[in-house]
Amino acid sequence: MGSAGVALAVGAGLVAPAARAAARPVAPLLPAPLLPADVAHHWVRAAYRAVLLENLTPPAAARAYSRTALAMYEAVVAGMPGHRSLAGQLSDLRAVGAGATTGVVTAPGRARLDWHAALSAAAHDVLLAVLPLRAPATRPHLDAVHAEVVASRRAAGVRPTDLAASLEHGSAVAARLADWCATDGHAEALARPYTPPTGQPWLWESTPPNFRPAIEPWCGTVRPLVLQRGEVGAEPPVPFSTEPGSAFHDQALAVLEQSRRNGDEERAIARFWTDNPGSFTPPLGTPTGLPSGHWMLVAEQVARGLDLALDEALEAYVRLGVALNDAFLACWTVKYETNLLRPVTYLNRYVDPAWTTVVNTPQFPEHTSGHSVSSAAAAVVLTDLLGEVAFTDDTHAERGYPARSFTSFDAAAREAAVSRLYGGIHYPRGIEAGLAQGEAVGRLVLQRLRTRR
């Protein structure tokens, strides 16, 4: 399956609604199940671009994507007869009024709302609320995307009064969600000072070549969406040892030996799934949309390939967003509880001072692997909703990396996980424990989140 993603440039063109009119007529007043999902896909791409511009941390990126997906879903759920609001299901998010689809705000005159315009307003406004807006280009990018959607809806024949009501509804949803987001503890966690513990040889230290401070050390205090704080742990690392022949020494040697065995394919996999945070100050890193963004674009590409209707696509995005958000919170909790040093630190200190990694080691502790946790959680929820779907992923086409094809979401998740061994930045145990942790997160999301009536 190929992808047909919208370009990531500011103001990139929407897929023309007329191109799909034969399959699903595009007109105001239709219920969401009869509408195409192009505007939702466009906003997923726009959110990826905004996260890249803002150079967010992995947990902050997952938070931004989950809120974008939630805003779009809640803005449209009143027009989705087979689906229910997530108000009352997500932590501390309460519905207004009564009824399963009332949502976080009451949808006025729902039969006259244009759902594409409403979701665009919601996505635009909630991103402005949850992003730090450090990059000068971020706000103009989001404004341009929203303006283009509004213009396209006006050109499609949406009456001015309906368009105004739709935009007002979407903005009201975003405002309610922004107030809720402001109470999740994320701002407080970012502001809290942190001094990495020292005095033991197994403790994490900042790693070459960037030697940055620890990223989001208090992330475990942030309110999850469907989990409880610290609810999903992980198998611990093997006992630390510097003795040759010990289990931990063997873990480190496995990283070293894999780096020596790497061929073109392994190095390509390591680069394709790097998805690391970048840096705005020297030494510069390469910013990406982060692992959660990679999985949001996987969902976008698959949704396009399956020609999902608007309600189906929004359901996939919101379930995935919730899983990614809580996967990163669970992972980061374990990371800073274990505070385990990275392979490059161990190998340089005890085995080979000249050894280096294939990809840069991110600036946070090793156990568990964030790629493994988030990818496994993503695979669980996407497989449950969409099945064993084969797809081709061209997320990093703009960066010059060839597309990769997969037989299933699980196959992609396992490649994403092992890519961290190929890259030299995780021990095998951190990857294996991360996959199990992510699967547990995904299963709990499936148990606790009800998007269908």
Task: Give per-residue pLDDT as tens, 166-191.
Answer: 999 999 999 999 999 999 999 999 99
225 lies in the same domain as 362: yes
Query: What string of DSSP letters covers 288-353?
Result: --HHHHHHHHHHHHHHHHHT-BHHHHHHHHHHHHHHHHHHHHHHHHHHHHH-BPPHHHHHHHHT-T
Cis amide linkage into residue 274, ω under 30° from 0: no
Is 311 in contact with 210 (CB distance < 8 Å)?
no
Q: What is the mean pLDDT of residues 13-36?
A: 50
153 lies in the same domain as 33: yes
Is 204 in contact with 366 (CB distance < 8 Å)?
yes
100 lies in the same domain as 218: no
Tell me which of 187, 207, 227 is where a domain ends.
187
200 lies in the same domain as 65: no
Tell me which of 165, 187, 209 is where a domain ends.
187
Is 61 in contact with 331 (CB distance < 8 Å)?
no
CA distances from 363 to 51, 216, 270, 374, 446 (A): 18, 10, 17, 17, 31
200 lies in the same domain as 183: no
Highest mean pLDDT of the ranges 29-33, 107-111, 401-405: 401-405
| pLDDT, position 21 | 33
| pLDDT, position 282 | 56
**Percentage, residues of the chain above pLDDT 90:** 83
Domain with 444 in it: what CATH number?
A: 1.10.606.20
Structure-token pair, residue 271: 């680069």
Tally the domains of the chain. Answer: 2
214 lies in the same domain as 353: yes
Tell me the C-alpha distance between 54 and 56, whole Å. Answer: 5
Q: Which of 17-31, 144-158, 249-263, 417-431 has the lowest mean pLDDT?
A: 17-31
Is 260 in contact with 362 (CB distance < 8 Å)?
no
257 lies in the same domain as 369: yes
The reply to whether 5 falls in a domain is: no
146 lies in the same domain as 248: no
Q: What is the mean pLDDT of residues 141-163?
A: 96
Is 290 in contact with 331 (CB distance < 8 Å)?
no
134 lies in the same domain as 258: no
The reply to whether 222 falls in a domain is: yes
Tell me which of 136, 167, 187 is where a domain ends.
187
Of 431, 404, 412, 422, the residue nearest 320 (C-alpha): 412
Domain that holds residue 122: 17-187
Burial class (CB in 10 A: 0-12, 13-18, 19+), 354: exposed
- What single letter denotes the amino acid at residue 260? R
The reported pTM is 0.92
Question: What are the φ and ψ backbone dihedral angles of 104, each rounded to 5 degrees?
Answer: -80, -20
Question: What are the φ and ψ backbone dihedral angles of 391, each rounded to 5 degrees?
Answer: -155, 165
| pLDDT, position 103 | 83
129 lies in the same domain as 99: yes
232 lies in the same domain as 103: no
Structure-token pair, residue 241: 């040892």
